Structure 1
Amino acid sequence: MDAAVVVPAYNERTAVVRALDALADQGAAVVVVVGGDDGTEAAARDHPATDRVVRDAAEDGPAAARNRGARAASAEVVCFTDADTVVPPGWVARHLSHYHDDRVVGVGGPLRPLDGSRTDEVLFKLLSDYWYRVSWPVGFVQASGNNCSYRREAFLAAGGFDESLPFMEDTDCSLRMRARGRLVYDPHAWVHTSVRRQREEGYGGLFLRYAVGYARYALGRDPGEGYFRDW
């Protein structure tokens, strides 16, 4: 079984190099979907881990960028991570190990803070691991866009990430994928990701935003009201 990794990168020239360094020995094709004008495209093209660069001329958000990357890939399984995220050795293999079960259509894992403090580590453990361990078994699956994978054909048949959603498009995708098979939460398939959003907005503000977003989503409304449009 083969895999591809899709990395959306908008003005992430410095961060994307670190992300690609971690993907170099994963045994998967790497597709970087680039936007912006800070030299991210050149950095991605020059990196030996990169197999393909897709220029995102529309620059209409991470959901659209991930979908473009998935369409450009040809592997049976597509893994998704972000330019500000660093995966550990064996991350792709960890995801692939679950697809030996033909019922499995998707896999998600927890997040850990990249260059974070002890407080970040504790809060990430609570909000990006323990919360998932509780919510996934009852059907509220939330595979984070920077640490998830799907069977490519099933993902594309389901429409991929909803490009009209500026926020929670990853949760929406994983919930829709439940109709096509089994989704697995693997607590050992972790990644390290940037804490810059937590620094900018604070954990309290982000928690409130997500709580409101979940409520709006449950009511069939736009969960973000334009939030995260500029990716």
Structure 2
Amino acid sequence: MDTASVVVPAREEGERLERTLASLARQSFDGRLEVIVVASGTATRRVAREHGAVDRVLADDRCDGPGAARNRGAAAATGDVLLFTDADTVVPPTWVRRHWRHYATTAVVGVGGPLRPLAGGLAHRFRFRLLSDWWYRASWPVGFVQQPGPNCSVRRSAFEEIDGFDESLSFLEDTDLSLRLCEAGSVVYDPDCPVRTSVRRHEREGYLPLLLAYLVGYLEYALPNRSPTRDHFS
């Protein structure tokens, strides 16, 4: 039977993780779905262990960042396709199935999709559409491929070929993975496969400061011998 593995890094995310796992429990996927939570924090681990959708809980005592947590979950996974989302994100019932179908094309090694706000009014919806959908649609065709961490998947063989996420990066580790994946095959953007994610970061930091932080990160990433190691989102 075909197996898809979902890896969820969760750091101090009790209530939000419950909502994420509930959405994973409603997946309309015909194969076997495996859910692995890499959890730090007592409450977070308890929620993960008690939820029926979870197959395995890995304690994350090191808290070395999302890239390291995703790598650890991927190493424990058994699926041919690895999907990643976050513990403050809700995925639609067709999420796994929509990602999976792209891998029927053997050249495809990765899939990404847009983000939508989990709460908020018109301003949030417009800004998310601009920064987490239209920006991807514009950048993808020119080679600047960016699978967002809460809504991405990879073919396991390609993930292993490029050694997974770069754990030295505390920022833009998902963009780095996406660009390296392009060397192994085709990375697809599916505009009809959105997930809804928390707006707390945007409300706390503000959209303009976040946009500027990303622009600086992109510039640092592009410079020789430099990497976006800022702890802005830690």
- TM interval, short-chain normalised: over 0.9
The answer to whether the aligner puts 1:24 opposite 2:28 as a matched pair is no
Q: Which residue of 2 aligns with 1:12?
A: 13
Q: Which residue of 2 aligns with 1:62?
A: 66
Equivalent residue pairs, number: 228
Give secondary structure in 2 for the equivalent of 1:44.
helix
Tell me if the contact between 2:147 and 2:175 (Cα under 8 Å) persists in the aligned partners.
yes
Structure 1 gaps, min length 5: none
Q: Structure 1, residues 159-203: CA drift from partner, whole Å, max 9, x if none?
A: 111110000000000000000000000001110000011001100
Tell me if the contact between 2:168 and 2:229 (Cα under 8 Å) persists in the aligned partners.
no
Picking from 82, 87, 91, the partner of 1:83 is 87
Q: How big is the alpha-carbon RMSD for the aligned residues of Structure 1 and Structure 2?
A: 1.0
Q: Which residue of 2 aligns with 1:136?
A: 140
The answer to whether the aligner puts 1:227 opposite 2:232 as a matched pair is yes
The answer to whether the aligner puts 1:71 opposite 2:72 as a matched pair is no
Please give the alpha-carbon distance, in whole angstroms, between the structure 2 residues aligned to 1:154 and 1:49: 27
Please give the alpha-carbon distance, in whole angstroms, between the structure 2 residues aligned to 1:117 and 1:155: 37
Equivalent residue letter for 1:202: G
Equivalent residue letter for 2:231: G
Q: Which residue of 1 aligns with 2:108?
A: 104
Please give the alpha-carbon distance, in whole angstroms, between the structure 2 residues aligned to 1:186 and 1:216: 28
Please give the alpha-carbon distance, in whole angstroms, between the structure 1 residues aligned to 2:17 and 2:175: 24
Structure 2 gaps, min length 5: none
Q: CA deviation at 1:154?
A: 1.3
Aligned positions of 1:78-227 closer than 5 A: 78-220=82-224, 221-227=226-232
Give secondary structure in 2 for the equivalent of 1:136.
helix
Q: CA deviation at 1:29?
A: 0.8
Q: CA deviation at 1:156?
A: 1.9
Q: CA deviation at 1:116?
A: 1.9
Please give the alpha-carbon distance, in whole angstroms, between the structure 2 residues aligned to 1:54 and 1:79: 16
